[in-house]
Amino acid sequence: MAKRPLKVFRTAIGFHDAYVATTSRKAALQAWGAGGDLFSSGAAEQVIDPALTKAPLQQPGLVIRVARGTTAQHLAAAGKDLKREAGRKPARDEAGPPPLPTRKVPRPSRTKLDKAEAVLKAKSQAFAASVADIHAQIEALRKQRDDIRRKRDQELSKLEQRRSREEDAYHAALREWQG
């Protein structure tokens, strides 16, 4: 089965363009972590410009972010009022309410993970013991097979000698009978 060719897709993420080289739109949406179809809304597109596709094609599947302008350009696009506000610190009364204290989130519990690891270890040991038991049984059967073969060879050898003696005796009696 032939591999599908890579395509380069782009979407806007904040002040950056996010490029990704994948085989399909669906794979691009997954790489960006998009919740909906950005292509149908026009928020994403396929890129064919060689200058823009060079970096993504060198690292397929990796999202590459490229700034869409400088900070000055962003401020200029935002308007003159924002530009003036950006250079000035807010007065104390304009600062707003004090930030709420951050609530410490308790550390996640390892209990379920520890239980899962213990079950995994126990099952692994049980399977290893079963395999070791089967290997021991195989070795016992091999020994039994070798013993039976040795006994067979000894008995068949004795029977072969007896048959040979009987054959010699028969031929001797036949020659004597014939005269």
Examine residue 162 and state whether it is found in any structural domain, yes or no. yes
Same domain, 79 and 128: no
61, 21 contact by CB (below 8 A): yes
pLDDT at 66: 86
Residue 132 Rama label (left phi>0; alpha psi -120 to 50; beta): alpha
* Domain annotation covers residue 52: yes
Task: Name the residue range of residue 142's domain.
Answer: 120-179
From CA 164, how far away is CA 51, in angstroms rounded? 94
Residue 77 sits in the same domain as residue 27? yes
Establish if 155 belongs to a structural domain: yes
User: Within this chain, do residues 125 and 177 fall inside the same structural domain, yes or no?
Assistant: yes
Are 68 and 126 contained in the same domain? no
Does residue 80 share a domain with residue 15?
yes
Query: What are the tens digits of pLDDT across the range 5-46?
Result: 889 999 988 788 899 999 999 999 998 888 888 888 888 999
Q: How confident is the model at residue 2 (pLDDT cuts 50, 70, 90)?
A: low
Residue 92 has a pLDDT of 54
From 86, 104, 135, give the residue that closes a domain.
86
Residues 75 and 12 in one domain: yes
Residue 94 has pLDDT above 60, yes or no: no
For residue 2, is it within any domain?
A: no
Position 155 pLDDT exceeds 70: yes
| Confidence bin at 137 (pLDDT 50/70/90) | very high
Residue 141 within a domain = yes
Beta strands in the chain (DSSP E): 7-13, 16-22, 44-47, 64-67
> Quick check: is 75 in a domain?
yes
Whether 15 and 59 share a structural domain: yes
Of 49 and 80, the structure prediction assigns the larger pLDDT to 49
What's the CA gap between 25 and 41, in Å, rounded? Answer: 13
* Domain final residue, candidates 86, 108, 132: 86
With a cut of 80, say whether residue 100 has pLDDT above it: no
Judge if 127 and 179 occupy the same domain. Answer: yes
- State if pTM tops 0.85: no
Overall number of domains in the chain: 2
